[in-house]
Amino acid sequence: MAAVQSGAQAANTQEPVLRTFARGWLTKAPQFGRLSDGVAICRLLVAGEAAGPASKPPRVSLYVKGREAERCADGLLVGDLIEGVGVIGPERERADRQEILVDEDKRVILRARPAATA
């Protein structure tokens, strides 16, 4: 009985969090900037596969902070297939797509780059 009670108490100390994994094509050039406290931030607009010919592909914004933001802004190109893991951001009325805050201890991974056309 004591083990059941202590387990229930431990569950109360955890906060709910929604995490996700996103892999898709970069649809716009990375948007780099700095927050008011000087921390680097980069927004990556990513699209996945459409479900069918009459549907639009799902789109999300990945937000990356710190040194990883600087690396992404300098190294990623439109059309790159990238992936990131992070927390789903809060729904905002003015946001036109879901936002994902990439974990600061994770990297955005480049999975594929389109071949250059001659």
Choices 1.10.20.140, 2.40.50.140, 3.20.20.70, 3.30.565.10: CATH for 16-112: 2.40.50.140
Q: How do the domains of the chain map onto residue ranges?
A: 16-112
The model's pTM is 0.80
Of all helices (H) and strands (E), which one includes residue 69?
Answer: helix 67-75
Residue range 80-95, pLDDT digits in tens: 999 999 999 988 888 8
Buried b / exposed e over 30-51, threshold 16 CB at 10 Å, is: beeeeeeeeebbbbbbbbeeee
pLDDT band at 1 (very low <50, low <70, confident <90, very high): very low
